[in-house]
């Protein structure tokens, strides 16, 4: 079963309709799963496939997909724009983090090296970490 068909099954299982527009938006999201996207970026990509899809449909679909845990809102820039990325169903509980170059705005994803620190927090404070965001700002190797 492909990732796309798994996401489609999640939509149907939730009781939501798998409309033509949702399928098209989902396909674009999956095809660009290695990127972070805003609603406007997604809209620009989708309207090349189907110009009848409106920006409101994209926003509503993103809201549904976030609720179904197909995508997640990631805080990667302080520009007032919501960015999203796809949740890999094989690694649903895996957190990843971002390095953002303040010179070229390149976004580099890094794997979760904080798992041992989360275990330390659990042991020392009795606190179970269920979610977190980490974004580090600096200068990438290319811009140095």
CA neighbor of 71 nearest in space, from 26, 135, 23, 113:
26
The reply to whether 140 and 74 lie within a common domain is: no
Domain housing 3:
1-90
For residue 68, give the DSSP letter.
T
The reply to whether 85 and 104 lie within a common domain is: no
Taking only the tens place, the pLDDT of each residue in 85-142 is 888 776 645 566 778 888 988 888 776 667 788 889 999 999 988 777 777 889 999 9
The reply to whether 144 and 130 lie within a common domain is: yes
| Cα–Cα distance for residue pair 84/104, rounded to 1 Å | 20
Q: What's the pLDDT score for residue 42?
A: 96
The token duo for 45 is 């990509």
The reply to whether 27 and 86 lie within a common domain is: yes
> How many Å separate Cα 48 from the centre of its chain?
21
The reply to whether 108 and 44 lie within a common domain is: no
Q: What's the pLDDT score for residue 94?
A: 57
């Amino acid at each position: 079963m492909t990732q796309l068909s798994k996401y489609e099954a999640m939509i149907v299982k939730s009781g939501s309709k798998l409309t033509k527009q949702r399928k098209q938006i989902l396909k674009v999201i999956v095809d660009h799963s290695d990127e972070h996207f805003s609603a406007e970026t997604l809209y620009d990509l989708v309207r090349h496939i189907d110009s009848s899809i409106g920006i409101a449909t994209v926003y509503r679909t993103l809201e549904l997909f976030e609720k179904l845990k197909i995508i997640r809102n990631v805080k990667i820039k302080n520009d007032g724009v919501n960015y999203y990325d796809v949740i890999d169903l094989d690694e649903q509980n895996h957190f990843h983090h971002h390095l953002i170059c303040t010179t070229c705005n390149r976004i580099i994803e890094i794997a979760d090296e904080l798992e041992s620190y989360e275990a330390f927090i659990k042991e020392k404070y009795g606190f179970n970490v269920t979610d977190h965001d980490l974004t580090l700002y600096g200068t990438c190797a290319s811009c140095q």
